[in-house]
A and B are shown apart, each in its own frame.
Chain A
Amino acid sequence: MTQSMDRPKHIGARILRSEDTRFLSGAARYIDDIRVPEMLHLKFVRSQIAHGRILEIDKSGLDDIGFPTQIFTGDDIGGLSIKAHQDVPEMQFSVQPLLARERVRFVGEPVAAVLADDAYLAEDAAEQVFVDYEPLPVVATMAQARDPDVPGLFENWRTNVFVERQMKGGDIAKARAEAAHIVTRTYSTQRQAGVPMEGRGVIAEFSPADRMLTVWSSTQIPHLLQTCIAEELGWPESHLRVIAPDVGGGFGVKGQVFVEEVLVAWLAVKIGRPVKWIEDRREHLTASIHARDHSHTLEAYVSADGRLLGLKADISVDVGAYSTFPFTAGGDPGMAAKVMPGPYDFQHYEATFRALATNKCPIGTYRGVGRPSAVFSQERLMDDIAKELGLDPIEFRLKNVVRQFPYKNALGFTYDPGSYAETLEKIRDLLAEDCAAAVASRSVPGKRIGVGIACFVEQTAHGTPDFTRRRVPIETGYIAAQVEMTPDGKAVVGIGLQSHGQGHETVMAQVAADALGISPSDVLVRHGDTATTPYSVGTWGSRGGALGGGAVHLAATRIADKLKAIAGHLLQADPGSIVLHDGEAYPEGNPDNAVKISKLARAALRNVDLLPEGMPPGLEAQYSLDGPGDGTYSNAVHAAVVEIDTSSGKMQLKRFVVVEDCGTILNPLIVDGQVRGGVVQGIGSAIFEHFIYDEECQPLTVTFADYLMPLAPEIPNIEVHHIETPTTRTPLGAKGLGEGGAIGPAAAIANAVADALQVDVASTPLNANAIWRLIARMREEA
């Protein structure tokens, strides 16, 4: 469905971001910058134990506190809850109450909401509320969760398995029978999270005059939040508006609907005053959502000549205490199972995957969703197989990657053309000197150099069939755009995305400007407000550029067609010959016979008498663009070079190189920024970030002093190279790219460490302790 465009000049250009000025000047408006008259401030009383029965909530401390307060507990809100059920027989049913009722299931779970006129006072008041618990035995590990003798965390549960299912294609027994080599390994990736610099926050206001309930939330998914609140509260969606103001980072964390968001909306109606809740960092680190926490056992079947024949996977994810909306507890394990075949050509695959319930913070989406963990295991396995067979890791991959497109993989997903072999060949050339240095370092004591790569394919911008198959509340994945011109010839784009760093205001203006023949500076882009943008699923799943950009292009093209018809009429030329360029419309090859686009817009909206006979006035169009059924497949190779001082254990990341292919590049400034930012988050996954719980499921990492974010001095420059293989599956040839940067680093760095020390590496994070233990193992094995 690729459409021709009139001389694209803005798409593909390195255009600076139009949104930057307000962020640089301090004029941006984030959730905590919004103040509504008469608003009350909310502070949560959160559970301090991981599992227990609530015996009593003592509110008497509020009686003589000296200022007005209100308190709400689970009993006050009845059965209101988040329902994130996967509609399959294997899924055990559970709900997450907005405030805990009878039982708490993780440290940080909201137990009571306390309101006062000022945030400081609300905090004072919350400290006066005492909750008495009867502790219950905790489910702290994946093994405990699978133990049938451990009581269920929810009523009527058999074991603490939310869901366990299978995916398969081909004949795994045949692959096993034909294999000359069988390589079995277990790999794990730790619990961490997206951790945006701005935490969550919600404000809700009910206006009795027009019966409108307005909810401001630091969310990536305003329309989904609107629907979820409306359904839970029984509120007409026509009278509900969700606004995501400037959002200080999301990375998938803010792509769920949280209990706090629904509760604040309910409270605003119940109390009749606006309510504001701003999360603090401790709450964010313990009680928003976490991510990863996977364990995979893989068994690869390989022929005598080093061809992959099949793969068997057993995937467990510790998803914590509750199923999250809308992707559910089954989201991460399901994604890992789906993507595990990766860029390799084999037709026999079988995966068993399960979501395990423990007394920890729930797991939700974070950049890559299941893929960083899957690629870690898959790409560590590729290196381990290559080592066992005595093959070079890059040559082994080149032998096995898909080269013929379209390619139907073992699960029946059809990959559109990519550059798997080309990216590998390019990385081989770029890393040749480092590989030689790594080999040389093995004969010199004290310092080891290692090179590791990760090769992956990423399904992006997938459409409705991919979601309906999952039978979870997400249901679809389309993005809509509305474009209208004003009588002065400028354009307003409403896009159903929410831009929280991706630069949508710039990119969508570039796309609209090319279709309309005007300057991007004459296009205003609105997003993040359900009252001013068309219904869409929001920003997640690497679809902003591919589907959002595609929807803007298609909607703007409809307006362009009308402009051309008007121009043809006014210039007495064939509308099909009209080009729109630099603010003017003229017949192709005859720029002297031009009419200004602003005059055409004015004709459509004001001087309607100038329109061709029978043409209705108006200059607006909307297009809702669903993703292709199987999505469109981006691909990349990441490479890491590490240097390890074997006497001190200090590891330095010397070099990180990306060769990536996201199809048509809409704005290289933004693409490179997304790749680099994602890679550094992946470096955090590989080396630094780890949510640690003790055996009672008490979180030990509750500040930035314990939970280590990557800082500038530890991070090298990220070298980014592009290969462009445009897809025919989206209107502009763009594939999704927002998440890819975060997918490869854990695997690439682990492979580099394994190469440096010549030992097996089975888990992340590769922090100082882990490296020290690996050096000890290297010495034992030597």
Chain B
Amino acid sequence: MIEITLEVNGKKRSLNVQPRRLLADVLRQEFNLSGVHIGCAQGACGCCTVHVDGSPRLSCLTFAAQCDNKTIRTVESVGGVYAEHPLQSAFRTEHGLQCGYCTPGFLMTLVPFVDAMVEEERMPDDEEIREAMSGNICRCTGYQGIVAAVRSAIGAGLERSAEK
């Protein structure tokens, strides 16, 4: 067992983990964060994407023991229980989800992308948006609603920053 300290969704906690335990399993079981979904455990589908120190990481290919003293964010922290983040709202209005299983992974991949575009004050074309989600598989939507949601969330972000 290894003792590690994780800051997860703003709360710091120390715990003992077996070296082989995946970050995804520790988040799901020890932290009760069931929004972390495992789709393949092979690093190919993106369902398990979380943020480690601010960057998207595949929690199925990351050992919890690698994350000592790191800051983790999961989908639960993005917009609260009512899913009020602008990208979450845009997923709703653009029908960017159906069964919902891949959705947390897409959100965790795309929230930083939306933020970066707003920061850079530019609207990417569809090709760039699709490339940004090329590490995530959605089997239900055909991606179009997700692309539209990203576009809509960036548009809203650009409007907000123009008002400032």
CB of A25 within 8 A of CB of B88, answer yes
**Main SS class of interface, B:** loop
CB of B97 within 8 A of CB of A676, answer no
User: Is B70 in contact with chain A by the CB < 8 A criterion?
Assistant: no
CB of B145 within 8 A of CB of A673, answer yes
Q: Which 8 A-B pairs have the closest CB atoms?
A: A26-B35, A23-B100, A248-B101, A680-B142, A501-B98, A501-B99, A704-B44, A24-B83
CB-defined contacts of A157 to chain B, threshold 8 Å: none
CB of A717 within 8 A of CB of B99, answer no
CB of A676 within 8 A of CB of B144, answer yes
CB of A28 within 8 A of CB of B142, answer no
User: Is A260 in contact with chain B by the CB < 8 A criterion?
Assistant: no
CB of B147 within 8 A of CB of A712, answer yes
User: Is B93 in contact with chain A by the CB < 8 A criterion?
Assistant: yes
> Roughly how many angstroms separate A705 CA and B103 CA in the complex, as a whole number?
21
- Report the nearest B residue to A741, measured CB to CB: B142
Q: Mark B70-108, 1 if CB is under 8 A from A, else 0.
A: 000011101111110000100111010111111110010
CB of A20 within 8 A of CB of B83, answer yes
Stretch of B51-59, B115-123, B124-132 that contacts chain A: B124-132
Q: Mark B26-56, 1 if CB is under 8 A from A, else 0.
A: 0010000111111111101101000000000
Stretch of A29-37, A125-133, A401-409 that contacts chain B: A29-37
CB of A713 within 8 A of CB of B42, answer no
> Roughly how many angstroms separate A673 CA and B82 CA in the complex, as a whole number?
23
CB of A670 within 8 A of CB of B99, answer no
What count of chain A residues pass the 8 Å CB interface test? 54
CB of B44 within 8 A of CB of A705, answer yes
Partner-B contacts on A (CB < 8 A): 16-17, 19-30, 32-33, 120, 194-198, 246-251, 280-281, 500-503, 669-670, 672-673, 676-681, 703-705, 709, 711-713, 715, 717-718
CB-defined contacts of B126 to chain A, threshold 8 Å: 717
> Roughly how many angstroms separate A29 CA and B97 CA in the complex, as a whole number?
16
> Roughly how many angstroms separate A26 CA and B36 CA in the complex, as a whole number?
8
> Roughly how many angstroms separate A281 CA and B47 CA in the complex, as a whole number?
12
CB of A198 within 8 A of CB of B44, answer no
> Roughly how many angstroms separate A761 CA and B153 CA in the complex, as a whole number?
42
> Roughly how many angstroms separate A711 CA and B102 CA in the complex, as a whole number?
13
CB-defined contacts of A19 to chain B, threshold 8 Å: 100
> Roughly how many angstroms separate A678 CA and B88 CA in the complex, as a whole number?
23
A17, A681, A705: the one within 8 Å of B95 (CB): A17
CB of B103 within 8 A of CB of A24, answer yes
CB of B35 within 8 A of CB of A25, answer yes
> Roughly how many angstroms separate A670 CA and B145 CA in the complex, as a whole number?
11
A195, A281, A669, A678: the one within 8 Å of B42 (CB): A281
CB-defined contacts of A703 to chain B, threshold 8 Å: 40, 42, 44
> Roughly how many angstroms separate A677 CA and B93 CA in the complex, as a whole number?
17
CB-defined contacts of B91 to chain A, threshold 8 Å: 20, 24
CB of A281 within 8 A of CB of B39, answer yes
CB of A33 within 8 A of CB of B93, answer no
CB of A24 within 8 A of CB of B88, answer yes
A25, A33, A670: the one within 8 Å of B82 (CB): A25
Assuming the contacts A25-B82, A704-B45, asked whether A713 and B75 have C-beta atoms less than 8 A apart, the reply is: no
Chain B proximity of A471: nearest CB distance (Å): 33
- Give the one of A22, A250, A712 with max B CB within 10 A: A712
CB of A704 within 8 A of CB of B137, answer yes
- Give the one of B35, B139, B146 with max A CB within 10 A: B139
Q: Can you offer 7 A-B residue contacts whose CB atoms are under 8 A?
A: A16-B93, A17-B92, A20-B100, A197-B138, A249-B139, A669-B95, A704-B42
User: Is B160 in contact with chain A by the CB < 8 A criterion?
Assistant: no
Chain B proximity of A195: nearest CB distance (Å): 6
CB-defined contacts of B113 to chain A, threshold 8 Å: none
- Report the nearest B residue to A681, measured CB to CB: B139
CB of A680 within 8 A of CB of B97, answer no
A30, A246, A249, A718: the one within 8 Å of B142 (CB): A718
- Report the nearest B residue to A673, measured CB to CB: B95
User: Is B15 in contact with chain A by the CB < 8 A criterion?
Assistant: no
CB of B97 within 8 A of CB of A23, answer yes
CB-defined contacts of B79 to chain A, threshold 8 Å: 24-25
